[in-house]
Structure 1
Amino acid sequence: MTDRTLAQHLARFASATRFEDLPEAVVDSVGMRVLDTLGIAIAATDLETSRAAAAWAREQCGSPTASAIGLDVALPAPMAAFVNGVLAHSLDFDDTHLPSILHPSASVVPAALAAAQLHRADGRTLVRGIAIGLEVCVRLGMAGFDPAAKNSVFFEHGQHATSICGAMGGAVAAAVIGGASEERIVDTLGVAASMAAGIIEANRTGGTVKRMHCGWAAHSALAAEGLARHGITGPPTVLEGRFGFFRAWLHGAVRGDEIVDGLGTDWAVPGIFFKPYPANHFTHAAIDAGAALRRRGVSPDDIDRLVLGVPAANLRTIGEPIEVKRTPATGYMAQFSGPYAVAVGILGGGGLGAALEDYSDDLATSAERRALMAKVDVVPDSRCDEIFPQQFPAVLTATLTDGTTLVEEVLTTRGGPQRPLSFEEVSAKFTANAGPFLSDRDIAELAARCHALPDLTGIGALLEPLTAAGLQSAR
């Protein structure tokens, strides 16, 4: 550590890192994350919350410079970032970093895409901005991770680290893409810190506001970049200062070494977990465990009782209040239910584990699934506690009507470094998400462009098929 502030360390890293400095694994990972994020956003265009976000965005004024997925008009860059960020997070299908428990791409990628259109950047500049923005986002999240408690301090205070850190990372991405100097990146961080926000009570008891969080983070990122570009300045001690980011959000608890150690050499980006299933990441091992029971020939009629063992820290999100988690009122609430995840694994997913159609309101409230959920208890498991939060494990114990006991352990999370998804698997996920909205030709071309993202001369060709006209032509 030197006498430089933490924001100055990040700004030096951001301004000094060239595209040529990015490891090949980082470049490849960015392309996959853009493809993944776009597919999720496309699949979310028909949600009522997506239409609400788009309607509000269209009411705002400004220069139409950037594309919003599903809209037939260009929007001001901050508003396009807002719409695309809402879409990217609305299905809970976006990637996750562990152990910080952040969803980095849903804020950073929409912010970077809007900034790239605003500043007419090429693919190399976009990749560089996204890589740096993701790295900043993750490092801020890790600075708020408590290894002793094995949990995010943000989370303990009811704060949505994804949107808070996403606003900061997205702002740096936008500033890099806009050609900001090191000093202006410090100012951008200083401005963005006053815009970062998000509380997560909706995870527990309902409400769709969480879908807005990554959109607002991306909007804040573009606003911070623009304000700094026009002369608004921020404090260089914005992170560690007496009244700074860490004092405000983490009550002074901070691990500054997570920000500076290995900065520019040890990249977190390739290790961010892709989501194979459209639900809260805490539920994925439960889906896999339920699917494993199904593969063993177990049917709902065979089951007397199910006990889902999970890390104790996950109970509040997917197991409490248990009466709510056993009876989700909507498909959205079902995405945060451990009992529903088990039911999906046993009943749904077309043999793959889980699919978007599993999270419809009709299925979430169906008599068959509610009957199965009523048999599920969610309890803390000591073995899962030992593994968490490097993984989100689960142990499912089934007591059958004939007295037989079966146990399925899922101790690693699919989509992470131990069980990675290939580009082909991410492309298949993109195809499943975008298939109802895009032609086969557009799907293939988008996947190819993301695979060769650095070669793009402009970002318009990447987003043009995703406007309202492009999506509707395939229907």
Structure 2
Amino acid sequence: MGLCQALGKSGKEFLLAVVCGYETVNRVGMAFGVSSHRNRGWHATATCGVFGCAAACAKLLNLDTDQIVSALGMAGTQSSGVWAFLGDGSNCKVLHTARAAADGMEAAFLAKAGMTGPEHIFEAKDGGLLTAMSDGGDLKKLSAGLGTVYEILNMDMKPYPCCRSAHGVIDAAFEIRKELLKKADLERTSLEKQIADIRQVQIETYLVGYKQCAVSEGCLNPKTTLDAKFSTPYAAAAALLYGKISMKEFELEVVEGTEIQRLLHKVHVEPADEFTKQYPKHWGCRMKVLQQDGTGYEKEIRDPSGSIARPLTTKQAMKKAEEFLHESYPGEEQVKIREILNLEEKETLPNM
């Protein structure tokens, strides 16, 4: 968006660049192989994101074919970002998106200025990214259906502001919370008492989700906002306890709360082959909640909300947009939403 504004591009040109970026980042990720790439410790938001940014900027700069190839090659030689930050709760994850954006844009400008990048950045025998960053990958996925199949149409939309791997668990927790509320009505007790009576929460999920959100110290004992956003136990506890998941539930004073800390330590997460085999086509999980009196509740989620199988409604998407816009434009949310929805008709981008 910043480059569009600097170049005086139209809303339509901005959207076209966004589509190019999404198409590129997704196809690079598909070529790497989601599980293979992740299991080697790479963070795809960073490693694939740099290609998406380079492609989007190349479109805005009107690069020719050779220049685009060079821009992508230079993006690839800067591709980096690993999941080690999860191990000790360091907050450098923000560098992953920042460097992907900066390096991708720089690659496009350098290509325009005449610098060349490696043409075979993915398949080179010495230093090719498919073998360096995955178990060989699949080169054909970079271009299969290109121009007819648009991967941006296959994107999930995250309903909750935390790691996507925890979203299925949140959906399951919301459903079980409804059952606890019914029990509270029948027994003429409070929902708070039903939640306090939880003895154990058992969760099974796919291996990648388990590694990302249920292994590190920060995941198991979240003490910061970033810890909580990558913690399946925290996500489950917050959904059960509060019945909603928004930015507020990840504020530090909430994360440090006695009640949620007590509940999250009752959550136990394990990887399950049945969900691992279905991933990444399905991001499934199963949750079981056991209470002190022996009552048990179980819910399985095959696809989390916001996925292609369970897309958000327009109303849900607009509500999410309003929540985020409120932070910077209180009282102007609807005005900004209309500007965004009408971007294609704008001669220049609105100031945001």
TM-score by length of 2: 0.91
**Contact 1:154/1:249 (CA < 8 Å) preserved in 2?**
no
1:13-412 alignment runs, 5 A limit: 113-145=1-33, 151-247=34-130, 249-250=132-133, 253-296=136-179, 297=181, 299-321=194-216, 324-348=218-242, 351=243, 353-412=244-303
**Contact 2:31/2:130 (CA < 8 Å) preserved in 1?**
no
Q: State the match for 1:455 in structure 2.
A: 345
Deviation for aligned residue 1:173: 0.8
**Contact 1:334/1:340 (CA < 8 Å) preserved in 2?**
yes
1:425 aligns with 2:332: no
- Give the letter aligned to residue 433 of structure 1: F
Aligned length: 340
- 1:449 aligned counterpart, secondary structure: helix
**Contact 1:192/1:221 (CA < 8 Å) preserved in 2?**
yes
Q: State the match for 2:185 in structure 1.
A: none
**Structure 1 segments (4+ residues) deviating >6 Å:** none
Identical counterparts, % of pairs: 24
RMSD, matched Cα: 1.8
Distance in 2 between residues matched to 1:404 and 1:375, nearest whole Å: 16
- Give the letter aligned to residue 134 of structure 1: Y
- 1:426 aligned counterpart, secondary structure: helix
**Superimposed CA distance per residue, residues 384-432 of structure 1 (whole angstroms, 9 cap, x where no aligned partner):** 2343222222211111111122111122111111111234322211111
Distance in 1 between residues matched to 2:134 and 2:202, nearest whole Å: 37
Gaps of 5+ in 1: 1-112, 146-150, 467-475
- Compared with structure 1, are the counterparts of its residues 410 and 204 closer, same or farther at alpha carbon in structure 2 (3 Å cutoff)? farther
TM-score by length of 1: 0.68
- Give the letter aligned to residue 334 of structure 2: A
Distance in 2 between residues matched to 1:206 and 1:405, nearest whole Å: 33
Distance in 2 between residues matched to 1:354 and 1:122, nearest whole Å: 35
**Contact 1:327/1:365 (CA < 8 Å) preserved in 2?**
no
Distance in 1 between residues matched to 2:293 and 2:29, nearest whole Å: 48
**Superimposed CA distance per residue, residues 192-222 of structure 1 (whole angstroms, 9 cap, x where no aligned partner):** 1222221111134311111121111111111
**Contact 1:308/1:378 (CA < 8 Å) preserved in 2?**
yes
**Superimposed CA distance per residue, residues 437-474 of structure 1 (whole angstroms, 9 cap, x where no aligned partner):** 21333x22221122122111112x2xx2x3xxxxxxxx
Deviation for aligned residue 1:360: 1.4
- Compared with structure 1, are the counterparts of its residues 143 and 283 closer, same or farther at alpha carbon in structure 2 (3 Å cutoff)? same
Q: State the match for 2:334 in structure 1.
A: 444
**Contact 2:35/2:208 (CA < 8 Å) preserved in 1?**
no
- 2:327 aligned counterpart, secondary structure: coil
- Compared with structure 1, are the counterparts of its residues 251 and 267 closer, same or farther at alpha carbon in structure 2 (3 Å cutoff)? closer
Deviation for aligned residue 1:232: 0.7
Distance in 2 between residues matched to 1:212 and 1:393, nearest whole Å: 29
- Compared with structure 1, are the counterparts of its residues 202 and 119 closer, same or farther at alpha carbon in structure 2 (3 Å cutoff)? same
Distance in 2 between residues matched to 1:291 and 1:251, nearest whole Å: 36
**Superimposed CA distance per residue, residues 87-139 of structure 1 (whole angstroms, 9 cap, x where no aligned partner):** xxxxxxxxxxxxxxxxxxxxxxxxxx122123221122111111111101100
- 1:305 aligned counterpart, secondary structure: strand
**Contact 2:35/2:280 (CA < 8 Å) preserved in 1?**
no
Distance in 2 between residues matched to 1:345 and 1:243, nearest whole Å: 48
- Compared with structure 1, are the counterparts of its residues 244 and 206 closer, same or farther at alpha carbon in structure 2 (3 Å cutoff)? same
- Compared with structure 1, are the counterparts of its residues 393 and 247 closer, same or farther at alpha carbon in structure 2 (3 Å cutoff)? closer
Distance in 2 between residues matched to 1:370 and 1:337, nearest whole Å: 12
Deviation for aligned residue 1:238: 2.2
Distance in 2 between residues matched to 1:248 and 1:256, nearest whole Å: 11
Q: State the match for 1:473 in structure 2.
A: none
Larger mean Cα displacement after TM superposition, 381-390 or 300-309: 381-390
Distance in 1 between residues matched to 2:66 and 2:206, nearest whole Å: 43
**Contact 2:203/2:286 (CA < 8 Å) preserved in 1?**
yes
- 2:77 aligned counterpart, secondary structure: coil
Deviation for aligned residue 1:244: 4.2
- Compared with structure 1, are the counterparts of its residues 347 and 249 closer, same or farther at alpha carbon in structure 2 (3 Å cutoff)? same
Deviation for aligned residue 1:252: 6.7
Distance in 2 between residues matched to 1:124 and 1:324, nearest whole Å: 42
- Give the letter aligned to residue 238 of structure 2: V
**Contact 2:75/2:107 (CA < 8 Å) preserved in 1?**
yes
Distance in 1 between residues matched to 2:225 and 2:79, nearest whole Å: 28
Distance in 2 between residues matched to 1:456 and 1:431, nearest whole Å: 21
Distance in 1 between residues matched to 2:62 and 2:218, nearest whole Å: 49
Distance in 1 between residues matched to 2:231 and 2:114, nearest whole Å: 46
Distance in 1 between residues matched to 2:212 and 2:196, nearest whole Å: 28
Distance in 1 between residues matched to 2:291 and 2:135, nearest whole Å: 50
- Give the letter aligned to residue 409 of structure 1: E
- Compared with structure 1, are the counterparts of its residues 277 and 252 closer, same or farther at alpha carbon in structure 2 (3 Å cutoff)? closer
